Structure 1
Amino acid sequence: VTVGDGGTLKRDLLITYTTGKFPDEYVSTVFDNYAVTIMVHDEPYTLGLFDTAGQEDYDRLRPLSYPQTDVFLILARIGSLASYENVREKWVPEVVHHCPGVPFLIVGVGSQDDEELFERARKSNLPHVREDYTRMGEDLASQLVAVNCVKYIECNIFTQWQLKDVFNEAIAAALIPPQRKKRRQRRSWRAGFLRTVNETKE
């Protein structure tokens, strides 16, 4: 399941991956799904891909698509600081609340208009270099390991750079059974950051 702010190109990412072609028009999404058959260790798997709407109007409907999810892709738009902040403030808490224990990847998505976003960010005195967003995503992922964040990875859906890598990583995360932990973890969110407190089982 893909989640993230509106404008993080969730639908375009799924269409480009499943068809090999970048879509040339925008269609607003509430729920949409796609399927593709892939080979993993010479075994065929049908990969079900679900897109969700990021707008606040759909906050109550969106979690209806979460049950039985094997892995989440939480998307942020490279060049949009707000989308990275909302990964931490909104999307990770939502996913962890509804599907505790399910792994997720944070995906920084680029497209053909990256330079326009960087220029807009520069004029607003916001991070405007790609490396800034790479560092931001990697730092965020390292903070969220305790709630099953697999990693941060970037792709470009226009050039298809690392697009397949995103889904290969997601597939690997979904196929690896979660390890049993000797300690329970109580999780709380303070000032947008994760605080994990280990509690030894009695």
Structure 2
Amino acid sequence: FYLVSKSLIIKTILCGVGDGAVGKTCLLIAYTTNAFPEEYIPTVFDNYSAHISVDGRTVSLNLWDTAGQEEYDRLCTLSYPQTNVFIICFSIGSPSPHANVGHKWHPEVSHHCPSVPILLVGTKQDLRGDADTVKKLKEQGLAPTTQQQGNSLAKQIGAVKYMECSALLHVLLCFALKMLIVVATSHNIQII
């Protein structure tokens, strides 16, 4: 995104990574269009833009959405060198993607961009209270990820912050993206 404040322009790209179907695309579409996509279509690579006001300044966001499927792993890494803030996403209602944060996504982004700040985002917050999801997980001896588990995972991987949101219910979308801007502007950002 470009942050314009008098004559200062800060160029930042926010890159979302995480397993397929964890809600990265829905998060970005719901924020940028104020609509929830009805159909799941796997992403290879997409780019979204939006304007947001932070501390009285208008910010133009450039949000990169990457593929979560393994067959596109090599394509994902092509966007990493230009990234200023990573959003590692996992679904609160799916324990497997939660595990992949520490085993796949954090090691990958840390290897390619060791000094780039990371925000950990638990998507699909609405599933924590969804009776069908809770029942299915309970049958497997599992439960949705708790806020405490998310905070613990964020600390474990050295994320700047852990946040939760629901693109379906539009819960905390603006707050999550404003936090990204705060993180971006408080770290080393390319100034043009």
Shorter-chain TM-score bucket reads: 0.7 to 0.9
Q: Secondary structure at the match of 1:61?
A: helix
How far apart, CA to CA, are the structure 2 residues paired with 1:113 and 1:171? 27
* Alpha-carbon shift at residue 22 of structure 1 (Å): 1.0
Contact 1:107/1:155 (<8 A) preserved: yes
Once superposed, what is the RMSD of the aligned Cα atoms? 1.5
Which of the two has greater helix per residue?
2
- Residue 159 (structure 1) aligns with: 169
For residue 182 of structure 2, the aligned residue among 169, 172, 183 is 172
Q: Is 1:26 paired with 2:40?
A: yes
Do residues 88 (structure 1) and 102 (structure 2) align? yes
Selected match of 1:125 from 127, 131, 141: 141
1:10 is matched with: 24
Per-residue CA shift, 1:89-125, capped at 9, x if unaligned?
0000011111111111111111665523222111101
Task: Give 1:20's aligned amino acid.
Answer: N
Query: 1:62-89 CA deviation, whole Å, 9 max, x = no partner?
Result: 1111122111111110121111110000
- Report SS of the residue matched to 2:184: helix
Name the amino acid aligned to 1:61: L
Determine the structure 1 residue equivalent to 2:116.
102
- Which structure exhibits the higher relative contact order, with contacts defined as CA atoms closer than 8 Å and separated by 6 or more residues? 2
Task: Calculate the TM-score normalised by the size of structure 2.
Answer: 0.84
Residues of 1 paired with 2:53 and 2:174: CA distance? 13
Mapped pair 1:46 → 2:56: no
Q: 1:138 aligns with which of 123, 130, 151?
A: 151
* Contact kept in structure 2, 1:79 and 1:133, CA below 8 Å: no
Give 5+ residue unaligned stretches, structure 2: 1-14
Kindly indicate whether the alpha-carbon contact (under 8 Å) linking 2:93 and 2:127 is maintained by their aligned counterparts in 1. no
C-alpha contact 2:44 2:72 (8 A) present in aligned 1: yes
Within 2, Cα distance between the matches of 1:136 and 1:89? 16
Alpha-carbon distance in structure 1 between the residues aligned to 2:180 and 2:98: 19
Structure 1 pair 158/111, CA: closer, same or farther in 2 (3 Å)?
Answer: farther
2: CA distance between counterparts of 1:153 and 1:16?
16
- Give yes or no for contact 2:20–2:42 (8 Å, CA) kept in 1: no
Look at both structures and tell me which one has the larger radius of gyration over its CA atoms.
Answer: 1
Q: Per-residue displacement from partner, 1:112-152 (whole Å, max 9, x unpaired)?
A: 655232221111011x2x5x43221111111223xxx1111
The residue correspondences of 1:175-190 to structure 2 (distance < 5 A) are 175-178=185-188
Distance 2:134 2:54 in 1: 37
Aligned residues: percent identity? 44
Q: Which runs of 5+ in 1 are unaligned?
A: 179-202
Paired residues in the alignment total: 172
Shift of 1:46: 1.4
